[in-house]
């Protein structure tokens, strides 16, 4: 079956609380699971990553999305090309705290990268969305009823 899973972290660390405050979100972080790989961007690891699947825990809420196999491979290839790009603190702060439109293709924050990957998989729920404008909570709201 061609699926991906969006994982929404309910973090309680200091940095998680800051992110939840800035983004007015229940969630501090989101990741995308494709073919047993965890994909996202996180300041704790310096930026974008593709890691082997780790056990699913109740630290997250999960939503399964159905995707086409060919577009899933395309998105995974794109994700691998983003590994090592820095976390975009300025993007998070400018876009979600100060409401200043800002995107940087050399840096990512989690929901921005996850939305971009969903768009690469041609998911209709995020068609036309501007990834930098979405928080983990926004993505959760978009997909929770699907």
Please identify, in words, the CATH class of the domain defined by 3-143: alpha beta
pTM for the full model?
0.90
Q: At what angle do helices 69-82 and 110-120 cross, to 10 degrees?
A: 140
Q: Does residue 7 come out as left (phi exceeding 0), alpha (psi in the -120 to 50 range) or beta?
A: beta
User: In the chain, where are the structural domains located?
Assistant: 3-143
93 vs 112: CA distance, rounded Å = 13
Residues 110-139 pLDDT 10s: 999 999 999 999 999 999 999 988 999 999
pLDDT tens for residues 34-89?
A: 989 999 998 888 899 999 998 889 999 999 998 888 899 999 999 999 999 998 87
DSSP H helical ranges for 9-144: 14-23, 69-82, 89-92, 110-120, 136-143
């Amino acid at each position: 079956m061609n699926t991906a899973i969006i994982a929404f972290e309910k973090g309680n660390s200091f940095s998680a609380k800051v992110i939840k405050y800035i983004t007015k979100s229940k969630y501090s972080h989101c990741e995308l699971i494709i073919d047993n790989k965890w994909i996202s961007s996180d300041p704790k690891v310096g930026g974008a990553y593709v890691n082997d699947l780790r056990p699913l825990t109740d630290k997250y809420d999960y939503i399964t999305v159905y995707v086409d196999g060919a577009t899933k491979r395309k998105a995974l290839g794109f994700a691998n090309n983003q590994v090592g790009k820095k976390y975009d603190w300025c993007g998070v702060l400018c876009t979600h705290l100060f409401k200043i439109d800002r995107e940087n293709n050399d840096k990512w924050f989690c929901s921005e990268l996850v939305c971009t990957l969903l768009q690469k998989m041609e998911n209709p729920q995020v068609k036309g969305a501007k990834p930098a404008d979405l928080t983990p909570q926004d993505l959760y709201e978009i997909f929770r009823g699907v």
